[in-house]
Structure 1
Amino acid sequence: MFTGIVTDLGEILTVDDIPAGKRTRIRTAYDTETFDIGASISCAGVCHTVTKKANEADGNWFEVESAAETLALTTVSKWRAGQKINLERSLKLGAELGGHLVLGHVDGIATVVKREDHPDSVYFQFEAPRETAPFIAKKGSIALDGTSLTINDVDGLLFSVFLIPHTLDVTTWSERDVGDGINLEVDMIARYAARLAEFPKTG
C-alpha cells in the first residue's frame, strides 16, 4: 500500500524482454540496503516487486519484472531506457499519510487532452476510460502515475487537476503533455462505495 507521495524520481536504465513479460532496471536514490528482495515499490503508479538490487559507486538500482497483464493494462509496455518515473516505497504503519491510500493496482490509462501553464500552477485535463469515470468525483482523490492528486472538476469522461511547482519539480509531471497516457487508479473508498451500492438493502 502507498500514499501517492512520490519520494524519488527514478531513471530507467534497461528494459529487457523475458518469458513472463519485461524486466526493468531502475536507477534510484534509495539506499537499497534498506529494503529486501520481494519488497513492493510503486513505479509510475504500478506496484512492482523488487527482484534484484544493488548499491554501486555509479548509482544505486533495483530490478522489477512486469507480467503480460501489467503490460496490457498500464503504460509499462512503453517504458524505455533513459525515461524518468515516479517512485514510492510501500507505506509503513505509523508513517504520515500525506496523500491518500493507494494500492498500486492501476484501473486504466487516462489520456492528457489539455495542458495550460500558469505562473503558479499547471492545469491538466484528462479523458478517463469509460469504466473508471463513475468513480471520479469533483474534489475527490485520484492517483495518476503514482501521484496523489485532488480532482478539480469533472465533466463526463473528462476531469482536471492543478499541479503546484513543487509537484512539477519532484515528479515526471513537468514532462507530461497532450496525448500522453497516464496510469490511473481510482480512490479505494469510491471503489468500495460503488460496489456496496450495487446491492439493495434487505431485511
Structure 2
Amino acid sequence: MFTGIIETSGIVKKIVSSETNLDITISSNITRELKIDQSVAHNGVCLTVVDIDHDEYTVTAIDETLKKTNLNTLKIDDNINLERAMKLGDRLDGHIVQGHVDQVGICTNIENENGSWLFSFEYDKNLGNLTIEKGSITIDGTSLTVIDSGENTFSVAIIPYTYEHTRFNQYKIDTKVNLEFDVLGKYVKKISQYNN
C-alpha cells in the first residue's frame, strides 16, 4: 500500500531482458535503506527488490506488468519516481494507492498557469476505467486530484514542488504515463455492474 507521495527519484542504470521479463537496475539515495524482498513503487508500479549492490538495486518487471505500464519504454539514465510502502500508523498524506497500474495514458496538453501547471491526459475508454471529478488519480506513482473529468480524459493541477520533485518536469505532449484509477471508484463501479 502506498500514498502516492513521491519520496525520491532514481536513475535507471541497467536494463537486462530475461526471457519475457526485464531486470531493471536503479541508482537512488534510498538504496542503502532497502532490503531484498521489499516492495517499492516505480512510476507507480509496485515491484520487489531482488538484488542490492552499494547504491544500486534491481527489480524485475514481468511480461504482464510490461504490457500494462510504461516500464517497457524505460531507457538508461531515465529518471523514475520512487515511493516505499507505507508504514502502519503513518499519516496518509496522499490517497490510497495500491501500486497496481490499470493502464497507460497519454499526455495531451500542458499549460503554464503562472505558478502552477495544468496537465491533461487521455486514456483508452475501452478498458473500462473512469475518473471521478475531485477523485484521485495516480500518474506515474504521483497521487493527484482529478479536475475536468471526461469520458476518457482528465486534467490535474501541479504545484511547483510536485513539478520540481517528480517526472512531471520531463513530460511532453504524447508522453506515456502509468495510470492507477481511484480505488474507491473502481469498487463502486464493480458493485453497480453486479446490481444491474
Q: Does the alignment reach a TM-score above 0.5?
A: yes
Partner of residue 113, structure 2: 118
CA RMSD of aligned residues (A): 1.4
Q: Distance in 2 between matches of 1:20 and 1:83?
A: 21
Which residue of the partner structure matches residue 83 of structure 1? 78
Q: CA deviation at 1:132?
A: 5.5
Matches within 5 A, 1:123-162: 123-131=118-126, 134-162=129-157
- The 5 Å alignment of 1:34-73 reads 34-55=33-54, 60-73=55-68
8 Å CA contact 1:133, 1:156 repeated in 2: no
CA distance in 2: counterparts of 1:134 and 1:188, whole angstroms: 11
Alpha-carbon displacement from aligned partner over 1:108-157 (angstroms, at most 9, x marks no partner): 01111111112211111110220456530111101000000001111221
Question: How many pairs does the alignment contain?
Answer: 196
- Return the letter of the residue paired with 1:3: T
Taking every aligned residue pair, what percent have the same amino acid on both sides?
32
Contact 2:31 2:52 in 1 (8 A): no
Scaled by the length of structure 2, the TM-score of the pair is 0.95
Q: How far apart in 2 are the matches of 1:113 and 1:133? A: 20
Which has the larger Rg? 1
What TM-score do the two structures reach when normalised by structure 1? 0.92
Following superposition, the deviation at residue 198 of structure 1 comes to 1.7
Q: How far 1:36 moved relative to its partner?
A: 2.0
Contact 2:108 2:173 in 1 (8 A): yes
Following superposition, which runs of at least 4 residues in structure 1 exceed 2 angstroms of deviation? 131-135
Is the counterpart of residue 22 in structure 1 residue 6 in structure 2?
A: no
1:44/1:86 contact within 8 Å kept: yes
**Offset from partner CA, 1:173-196 (integer Å, 9 cap, x none):** 001011011100011111111111
CA deviation string 1:54-92 (max 9, x = no partner): 33xxxx111001111111111011111000010000111
- Structure 2 distance, partners of 1:134, 1:36, is 34
- Greater mean deviation of Cα atoms: 43-52 or 19-28: 19-28
The gaps in structure 1 that reach 5 residues or longer are none
What displacement does 1:31 show?
Answer: 4.5
SS in 2 for 1:154: coil
Q: Structure 1: how far apart are the matches of 2:53 and 2:74? A: 21
- Structure 2 stretches of 5 or more lacking a match? none
